[in-house]
Structure 1
């Protein structure tokens, strides 16, 4: 039986939503340690992250550690008039937040806080699942595929890094022509590189 992308999404989301709160908390701390040891992170000053939702590995320990080390953190905001695209806004403890159409918290749109995606050093991408070849299965909106397309074509610009729980790995995913594979995915126990 061949599984569809939707089957994979449902199965993996169910798997990660069954993780206990204590496990989630520890996974977030472990992921933070793995991420901070990456060679591309040490010199990076402008790092795009995201706030965890729907059982995603907890990014708050990492965000707080990056703040402590004086790095700038940015969060994705759904572009108000360019359908399917993201903007990245500077994020601090005091950023006013709003819920987007998916009920995910994002910084309130303020043009003075926007950074062009090409000026970021690292873009951390959420994902539902990933496979042994670095293919990423997102939620299906294509936001990150569009954001990462220039990097995929030229190899220039911010370095994409996927973040996930170990249980989100599968051997092989069904892929589409527009899918952007990731060069690196970090889980609480491992750094996957291609």
Structure 2
């Protein structure tokens, strides 16, 4: 019998939350090592990242690398209450952050205009689980799937899922609304989905 998406999500969240603080730091450093020389990054200027939450692999070291390389970084912002779409705001070292309704820090929408998602070059997408074919299991809110549904017929942005290697499973059950990743990067390797 196939495990349900919600049961799989629960067990994989427990798996990533079980990592120690040292393991988390080390994973973020190895993730940066794996991604820093990839053409998807070196050829891109506008890159969306996220602030890790709930045991997600942290792109903090990667973010610092991107800033030092002169790249522009953006953070997702939940549009309004009830909205299921994400907006993206430029993220600088001095960007003030506020907690959204899930307790995740994000830039305030009051002062800055968001960049249209189509103008991003690369989007690093957090995930709960993945398989070697590049299928991603998110947190269940559908925010990234709705926001980037247009990528089914567009070349940009390149969507790359980020995860701990321990979040890999044999097969992710897919729904018709799930948006495919170009690849998945973990603390130990890059899985190309193309």
Smaller-chain TM-score bracket: over 0.9
Q: What CA deviation, in whole Å up to 9, does each residue of 1:3-34 have, x standing for no partner?
A: 11011111111111111111110100000111
Can you give the 5+ residue segments of structure 2 that lack an aligned partner in the other structure?
none
**RMSD between aligned residues:** 1.3
* Greater mean deviation of Cα atoms: 64-73 or 111-120: 111-120
SS in 2 for 1:115: coil
Q: Secondary structure at the match of 1:170?
A: coil
Please report the TM-score for the alignment, with normalisation by the length of structure 1: 0.95
Where in structure 1 are there 5+ consecutive unaligned residues?
none
Structure 1 CA distance, aligned partners of 2:192 and 2:72?
25
Matched, 1:169 2:168: yes
TM-score (norm 2): 0.95
CA deviations 1:59-101 (Å, max 9, x no partner) are 1111111111111110000012671000000011111111101
4+ residue stretches of structure 1 with deviation over 2 A?
A: 110-113
Instruction: Give the Å deviation of 1:155.
Output: 3.3
How do residues 112-191 of structure 1 correspond to structure 2 at under 5 angstroms? 112-152=112-152, 154-191=153-190
Residue 137 of structure 1: how far off its partner (Å) = 0.4
How many aligned residue pairs are there? 193
Which secondary structure state, in structure 2, belongs to the residue aligned with residue 112 of structure 1? coil
SS of match in other structure, 1:133: coil
| Residues in 2 aligned to 1:31 and 1:138: alpha-carbon distance in whole angstroms | 19
What do the CA deviations read for 1:101-121 (whole angstroms, capped 9, x no partner)? 111000111453411111111
Tell me by how many angstroms 1:157 deviates: 1.9
Question: Do the aligned partners of 2:34 and 2:189 also contact (CA within 8 Å) in 1?
Answer: yes
Distance 2:181 2:18 in 1: 26
Check the 8 A contact 2:85/2:146 in 1, yes or no. Answer: yes
